Amino acid sequence: MAHNLTQRKNGFIEFAFTGQRSSIWHQCGNNLSENAPIEQWIKEAGMDWEVFSSPVMYQAGLEQKIDETRQVLFRSDSHDVLSVMSKDYKIVQPGEVLEFFRALVVAHGMKLSAAGTLFGGKKYWAIAELGKAAEIIPGDLVNGYLLLTTSADGTMATTAKVTSTRVVCNNTLQIALRSSGKLLKCNHSKVFDPNEFKIDLGLIDEGWDKFITNMKQLADQPVTQLEAKEFFGRFVNPTNKDFSMQMERQMTALLHFYNFGAGHELGSGTKWNLLNAVTELNTHQTARIDASHRFNNSEFGKNNSEKNRALEMLLGN
């Protein structure tokens, strides 16, 4: 499918969400109530299958051989192959991603807002509202979310991150947490235990407060049109090479979103709008070139890195 959500042969799309369908960019999937139980989320998000494994078998001439050092990972329902991995690769089941949120929903008031699988089930994820919101400037609200994702093909460790979403345009931005000596990440070389993979809510509170303080500081710093153009020039051409056609196109797009993007009037003429131009481009627009990877790139890939780089530049890091 164009958005690379997994679609089964019967047409069922492995994605569930709360809220309005119109707010989902691809407008696909299954709409749930805010208080739906985890069991219903697992079913409606299409995460009710398991990852099975089998030793690799191959044909060598007339002889059939087995490679005990490798394993084929495949879906329990369709038997479709997901990947071929080392025998030591530790599987995280799709349902475990949602089970991770069970205690957080009950004890800390988080609300699941979306979950699903991508690329035929090779990657699966869930996201919950933290119950945190703040206005950067009057009328410009951002909400906080906790995202957990993992893969069945070795492309990603089991990873949790905190993100913000700007309500007026659904731009997303990762929130940095102070290093605690324990990463919110579990590699597939060891078994994922949701009970050990603790989320330090104190770190989330601290990271959120610092993030909001930084965003308000950006909103208080005016920039001229010339300064905006100079910033975008440094952003698209960090090594000061000759400007390419691609750089020129990026510059044109960034200046457009700075001056006319969603919610531009709220932070007009500030560093906050510089950041919003970059996040709009890398959350929604750049990925149109490859719409199938839009969500993946925005939250985990190059586009996510680009948004973080812009923030670091604006904060002077």
Contact 138, 150 (CB under 8 A): no
Please name which of 271, 270, 272, 294 lies closest in space to residue 282, comparing C-alpha atoms. Answer: 294
Residue 134 lies in a domain: yes
Phi/psi region, residue 170 (left: phi>0; alpha: psi -120 to 50; beta: rest), is left
Report the predicted TM-score, pTM, of the whole model to 2 decimal places. Answer: 0.85
Q: Is 93 helix (H, G, I), strand (E, B) or coil?
A: coil
- CA–CA dist 134, 166 (Å, integer): 10
Tens of pLDDT, residue by residue over 110-120, are 899 999 999 99
Residue 291, pLDDT score: 46
Would the pLDDT of 24 be above 80? no
Would the pLDDT of 317 be above 60? no
- CA–CA dist 137, 217 (Å, integer): 10
Structure tokens that stand for 132 in this block: 């945190």
Average pLDDT, integer, range 143-162: 91
Question: What is the rounded average pLDDT for all residues in the chain?
Answer: 87
Query: How many domains is the chain partitioned into structurally?
Result: 3
Residue 9 lies in a domain: no
- Please report, for residues 36, 157, 196, 207, 258, the alpha-carbon distance to residue 201 in angstroms, rounded to integers and kept in the order given: 23, 21, 14, 10, 34
**What number of residues does the chain have?**
317
φ and ψ at residue 95, rounded to 5 degrees: -65, -25
Tens of pLDDT, residue by residue over 182-217, are 447 889 999 988 776 666 677 788 889 999 999 999
Residue 211's CB is within 10 A of a number of other CB atoms, namely 22
Q: H-type helices in 84-200, by residue range? A: 94-99, 102-108
- CA–CA dist 126, 50 (Å, integer): 16
Instruction: Supply the range of the domain harboring residue 284.
Output: 221-315
Tell me: do 29 and 143 sit in the same domain. yes
- CA–CA dist 303, 281 (Å, integer): 9
Tell me: do 33 and 175 sit in the same domain. yes
Tell me: do 159 and 308 sit in the same domain. no
Residue 6, pLDDT score: 92
Residue 2 lies in a domain: no
Tell me: do 247 and 135 sit in the same domain. no
Residue 149 lies in a domain: yes
Among 137, 166, 200, residue at a domain's last position: 200
- Please report, for residues 106, 140, 177, 203, 302, the alpha-carbon distance to residue 272 in angstroms, rounded to integers and kept in the order given: 35, 11, 20, 24, 21
Tell me: do 184 and 41 sit in the same domain. yes
Residue 1 lies in a domain: no
Residue 183, pLDDT score: 45
Tell me: do 135 and 272 sit in the same domain. no
Structure tokens that stand for 123 in this block: 């990657």
With vertex at residue 301, the alpha carbon angle to CA 160 and CA 277, rounded to the nearest 5 degrees, is 100
Tell me: do 302 and 173 sit in the same domain. no
Residue 24 lies in a domain: yes
Average pLDDT, integer, range 232-249: 90
- CA–CA dist 165, 163 (Å, integer): 7
Tell me: do 36 and 113 sit in the same domain. yes
pLDDT grade, residue 125 (50/70/90)? very high
Tell me: do 176 and 270 sit in the same domain. no
Phi/psi region, residue 4 (left: phi>0; alpha: psi -120 to 50; beta: rest), is left
Tens of pLDDT, residue by residue over 262-310, are 888 998 999 999 999 999 988 876 544 444 466 667 676 788 889 999 9
Tell me: do 178 and 261 sit in the same domain. no
Tell me: do 149 and 259 sit in the same domain. no
Residue 212 lies in a domain: no
Tell me: do 119 and 251 sit in the same domain. no
Residue 241 lies in a domain: yes
Average pLDDT, integer, range 50-69: 94
Among 200, 232, 264, residue at a domain's last position: 200
Structure tokens that stand for 235 in this block: 């952003």
